[in-house]
Structure 1
């Protein structure tokens, strides 16, 4: 468990760039470097997370931990990856954020955002090589990227994944990598029952009192409804807790959540601390656990059987289509918000090109890239 926790903790400290970047970091660390799972297994976890509500990249991390060490492994992965952003946002909620105004700190963060461009570009290229070998898959990838770039929304994302799955069933079902048998499927229904009970309770508790259960109910509902993770959670959170927090304070929390590494869903940490002033740490813990819990419960419903499910011919074809679409989603995310929020000047693009070249040619470890980009980013802002 310690190995899983420590590996995800290290990634939680440096994973800037949002869900797409996190998927890139996970792939490099656990598929390329540690080889805890192969590329096909990893892609199946990514595809499953796309169809589940909740924090997409954290769900992938949870699945990797579960694959390596069972339920405790999944919890260790979640705790390690989430702990840095949780602690930072809690401290920023109860203190001031003046240190973020320090020029060197801003430069360090900017350097790590540029590293996120390199990591996402590498992940996109690797997944394209693996899952877009057929013409149909390439067309699905390109169409997905174009659709998301032109009409970015949660509904569009869900729509293109559904279309990709249908096209995959029709066109991509036949292939040498498809297993003809129908392996048995056994879902973990206790987790589904627990999810339904929690959701039903949260619906009943909304507006009933001002206890911590109310805080839990509000954030659990948001976690149950948001597809796509990341920035998609913002409007739902604002609608759910807007009456308890001023708009200025809400936007401050959102800005801080973007400025630190780790999952965007830890914005709940900042908001929970603000909502429960009697004990900010308790409010932060309850809100954070509540917003992550639905996605993890639903992942547990299908994780054990996901490999068997994905081996069924038509489902395997649908999965091939979804994998191609996921590459398109990564490509769209590489442009917006990863590239557009990081590359502002020619020197930024130069750093991205140099970093990508070093990564592909010299296979430099992620730790050294983090040190290099963070240091160079801080130095350039002081010149």
Structure 2
């Protein structure tokens, strides 16, 4: 018997559903999917594989493997691809909008109302959210280290990435760590390949894929040139969020140090604003990348507010979608190559090091300034790791703890 495959025609008449159907399905997921990208993939499977039967189990597993291989928000990329498979380009856009907008709107509302959080109670809530960020990032670092650095070679690559980020602060150090991690993987991780099975086929032609890849690189390298030539703030914001979205390997939490390098070190967002928003992002459903909408709304200079949030949100998601479209026609051949597998193992290990460095600076240094905050961070960490509490519960505990510390 042949293995199940993901098959679709490029003809619009052959799509099995409509954009409105896709929007309705993903709006439900966008309103209820708490717990981060791994949990989102579970929600997708239950709703779209088991209940709606949009795709079979093997095809879904192949799709998840592809999106985890690429930079970008894996769960949103899976949703985008499922919308594409079900209803074509309009279905892909509908899937992204419906899954993303609920959390983005909530975070923009928080950003615009954050100034109202004054007094000991308001400042306690904000500080509690910053402490929650410590626990969340610690959990993400621990989990990723177990999965992506299971041997001494990859653990060493992660350690080297920490040192590179410390010595070369900002986005330059992070880019260098990922590039050098990938090169180290080619040298150290070639013998750890896994057999590749299955088949992935999507309604994207090779010319369309090549065009998407070309546009990705034009934006990645062309936007900084435009910024330098024109000093347009709107283009600078788009460039910063696009660059952050281009380098996110390994899950949504990895966007934290990349965005911090772009918006905090540039002076656009204060460290307190950044960590408070990151804590609030744990309490809303949907993809963690919607944190960008909060940052766009609180930028110190225009464009900010709703306009800044829109620019930031589109820019941070766009590179992942362009890369996904670009790779789809070539994925079957590329993923089987040992060189590609070794490259990604090294790059993923470097990502663990980058996130580990961010756990200390800015997350720990900005949130933990006394024994009470340290104790609250430990409580939140144990709730996440040992009790498997949902992140939104931990956010409530952290906010309440911050208020108690603030009024004590």
Q: With structure 2 as the length reference, what TM-score do the two structures score?
A: 0.66
Structure-to-structure mapping, 1:102-117, within 5 angstroms: 102-117=119-134
Residue in 2 that maps onto 1:234: 263
Structure 2 CA distance for aligned equivalents of residues 150 and 307 of structure 1 = 36
Structure 2 CA distance for aligned equivalents of residues 336 and 152 of structure 1 = 11
| Paired residues of 2:120 and 2:406 also in contact (CA < 8 A) | yes
Structure 2 CA distance for aligned equivalents of residues 202 and 365 of structure 1 = 39
Closer, same or farther: CA 307–74 of 1 in aligned 2, 3 Å: farther
Residue in 1 that maps onto 2:296: 268
Match of 2:79 among 44, 48, 65: 65
Match of 2:322 among 287, 291, 298: 298
Structure 1 CA distance for aligned equivalents of residues 104 and 148 of structure 2 = 29
Match of 1:149 among 157, 161, 166: 166
Residue in 2 that maps onto 1:246: none
Which has the larger displacement, 307-316 or 67-76? Answer: 67-76
Match of 2:210 among 171, 178, 189: 189
Q: Shift in Å at residue 316 of structure 1? A: 0.3
User: What RMSD, in angstroms, separates the aligned Cα atoms of the two structures?
Assistant: 4.3
Structure 2 CA distance for aligned equivalents of residues 120 and 221 of structure 1 = 25
Structure 1 CA distance for aligned equivalents of residues 368 and 61 of structure 2 = 29
| Paired residues of 2:239 and 2:315 also in contact (CA < 8 A) | yes
Structure 2 CA distance for aligned equivalents of residues 361 and 236 of structure 1 = 34
Residue in 1 that maps onto 2:140: 123
| Paired residues of 2:67 and 2:324 also in contact (CA < 8 A) | no
Closer, same or farther: CA 105–139 of 1 in aligned 2, 3 Å: same
Closer, same or farther: CA 43–340 of 1 in aligned 2, 3 Å: farther
Residue in 2 that maps onto 1:173: 190
| Paired residues of 1:66 and 1:73 also in contact (CA < 8 A) | yes
Structure 2 CA distance for aligned equivalents of residues 347 and 369 of structure 1 = 16
Residue in 2 that maps onto 1:161: 178
Closer, same or farther: CA 102–307 of 1 in aligned 2, 3 Å: farther
Structure 2 CA distance for aligned equivalents of residues 326 and 205 of structure 1 = 27
Residue in 2 that maps onto 1:26: 36
Q: With structure 1 as the length reference, what TM-score do the two structures score?
A: 0.69
Residue in 1 that maps onto 2:118: 101
Match of 2:106 among 84, 101, 108: 84
SS, match of residue 123 in structure 2: helix
The CA deviation string for residues 15-63 of structure 1, in whole angstroms up to 9 with x for no partner, is xxxxxxxxxx6245336887789999879756632xxxxxx6xx44532
Match of 1:314 among 335, 339, 348: 339
Residue in 1 that maps onto 2:96: 74
The CA deviation string for residues 237-257 of structure 1, in whole angstroms up to 9 with x for no partner, is 77xxxxxxxxxxx567x8645
Q: Shift in Å at residue 172 of structure 1? A: 0.9
Which has the larger displacement, 63-72 or 372-381? Answer: 63-72
Structure 1 CA distance for aligned equivalents of residues 120 and 374 of structure 2 = 20
Are 1:372 and 2:397 counterparts? yes
Are 1:348 and 2:370 counterparts? no
Match of 1:325 among 350, 359, 368: 350
Match of 2:156 among 139, 144, 148: 139
Closer, same or farther: CA 6–382 of 1 in aligned 2, 3 Å: farther
Which has the larger displacement, 171-180 or 125-134? Answer: 171-180
Closer, same or farther: CA 43–323 of 1 in aligned 2, 3 Å: farther
Q: Shift in Å at residue 300 of structure 1? A: 3.7
| Paired residues of 1:11 and 1:81 also in contact (CA < 8 A) | no
Closer, same or farther: CA 160–379 of 1 in aligned 2, 3 Å: same
| Paired residues of 2:241 and 2:312 also in contact (CA < 8 A) | no
Q: Paired residues, what number? A: 337
Structure 2 CA distance for aligned equivalents of residues 106 and 8 of structure 1 = 29
